[in-house]
């Protein structure tokens, strides 16, 4: 049995909104964990593809940056393809979420307890419920026929106040991101202690050495370096009879479907939380142009909402992340 998991993030650089780190976990009962990673795009090609444009109208699974549409598009909702993928897999694994609150609960996201995150929205946002049900049914049948089990999707959202506190405690935002990665790895390992899971993490930047951080995250484990190259850093972790292999790979979304799906989950969750934030402030300033939270536009947005911040007594560290 192969346990094959991917981890990726969205929102590493913005000034507003949460950092979201997500995981997708697949179980392949007939696969040898000692063999190379399978090509799930090929195995699930009955309903899954990479491209947004597909004659068979299959579900696109790819790096979220390739699937997120332009906010300025007059013809296609910017979240259409992210939503198709995330909700199709979420529906294939369980009940189709009726709103973002239900989706966050299914993913394990603790929604930040701030007033700008309380306004739930119905799902889906870019298509009809019937369309999503059909997609989820197609994906479920494809998984069953391929002998692939979707163990689940998960995500963690680290908002401004928690993010800032962790940066102060650990020194860098990279450490905040890595802590969430460790938490996802630990959850996979605990769920499958006897299966020697394979976990793929999309690498941040050109960094090649992760052993020390892994050791701090798993102090009881013996960690062996398998490879540390320009593109792949791979480690075998052992704790008693348990073992786990983790690889940090450049462009992991291009080679591993679980990483691509994790990228989509992280991005979609962040977009839904940003939509809540924008709705809150637009409720006070109806003409306010929404923001995606990235630094340059976030500064414009903060200047626009300054009267609201002042009138409501909002603490800056509760809203604005260290960059």
How many other CB atoms are there within 10 angstroms of residue 222's CB atom?
12
Amino acid 309: pLDDT: 97
Amino acid 74: pLDDT: 62
Amino acid 77: pLDDT: 85
Rg of the chain on CA atoms, in Å: 20
Amino acid 95: pLDDT: 86
Question: Rounded to an integer, what distance in angstroms lies between the CA atom of residue 66 and that of residue 50?
Answer: 10
Question: Rounded to an integer, what distance in angstroms lies between the CA atom of residue 162 and that of residue 142?
Answer: 40
Amino acid 73: pLDDT: 66
Amino acid 72: pLDDT: 67
Question: Hey, where are the domains in the chain?
Answer: 2-319
Give yes or no for a contact between 177 and 170, defined as CB atoms under 8 angstroms apart: no
DSSP for residue 204: P
Question: Rounded to an integer, what distance in angstroms lies between the CA atom of residue 153 and that of residue 275?
Answer: 21
Q: Tens-of-pLDDT digits for all 323 residues of the chain?
A: 999 999 999 999 999 999 999 999 999 998 888 888 899 999 999 999 998 888 999 999 999 999 987 776 666 789 999 999 999 999 998 889 999 999 999 999 999 999 999 999 999 999 999 999 999 999 999 999 999 999 999 999 999 999 999 999 999 999 999 999 999 999 999 999 999 999 999 987 678 899 999 999 999 999 999 999 989 999 999 999 999 999 999 999 999 999 999 999 999 999 999 999 999 999 999 999 999 999 999 999 999 999 999 999 999 999 999 88
Statement: 2-319 belongs to CATH 1.25.40.320:
no
User: Three-state DSSP class for 115?
Assistant: helix
């Amino acid at each position: 049995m192969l346990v094959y998991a991917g981890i990726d993030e969205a929102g590493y650089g913005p000034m507003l909104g949460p950092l979201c780190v997500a995981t997708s976990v697949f179980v392949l009962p007939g696969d040898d964990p000692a063999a190379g990673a399978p090509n799930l795009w090929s195995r699930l090609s009955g309903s899954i593809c990479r491209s947004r444009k597909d004659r068979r109208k299959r579900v696109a699974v790819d790096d979220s940056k390739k699937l997120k549409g332009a906010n300025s598009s007059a013809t296609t909702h910017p979240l259409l393809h992210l939503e198709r993928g995330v909700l199709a897999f979420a529906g294939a694994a369980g009940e189709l979420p009726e709103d973002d609150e239900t989706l966050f609960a299914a993913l394990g996201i603790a929604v930040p307890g701030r007033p700008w995150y309380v306004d739930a929205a119905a799902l889906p946002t870019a298509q009809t419920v019937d369309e999503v049900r059909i997609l989820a049914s197609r994906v479920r049948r494809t998984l069953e026929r391929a002998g692939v089990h979707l163990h689940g999707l998960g995500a963690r959202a680290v908002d401004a106040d928690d993010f800032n506190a962790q940066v102060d405690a650990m020194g860098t935002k990279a450490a905040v991101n890595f802590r969430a990665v460790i938490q996802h790895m630990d959850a996979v390992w605990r769920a499958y202690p006897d299966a020697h899971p394979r976990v793929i993490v999309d690498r941040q930047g050109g960094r090649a050495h992760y052993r020390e951080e892994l050791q701090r995250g798993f102090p009881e484990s013996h960690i062996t370096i398998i490879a540390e190259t320009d593109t792949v850093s791979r480690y075998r972790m052992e704790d008693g009879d348990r073992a786990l292999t983790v690889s940090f790979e450049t462009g992991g979304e291009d080679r591993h479907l679980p990483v691509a799906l994790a990228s989509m989950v992280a991005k979609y969750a962040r977009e839904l939380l940003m939509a809540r934030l924008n709705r809150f402030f637009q409720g006070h300033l109806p003409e306010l142009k929404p923001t995606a939270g990235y630094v340059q536009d976030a500064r414009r947005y903060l200047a626009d909402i300054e009267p609201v911040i002042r009138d409501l007594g909002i603490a800056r560290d509760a809203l604005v992340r260290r960059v």
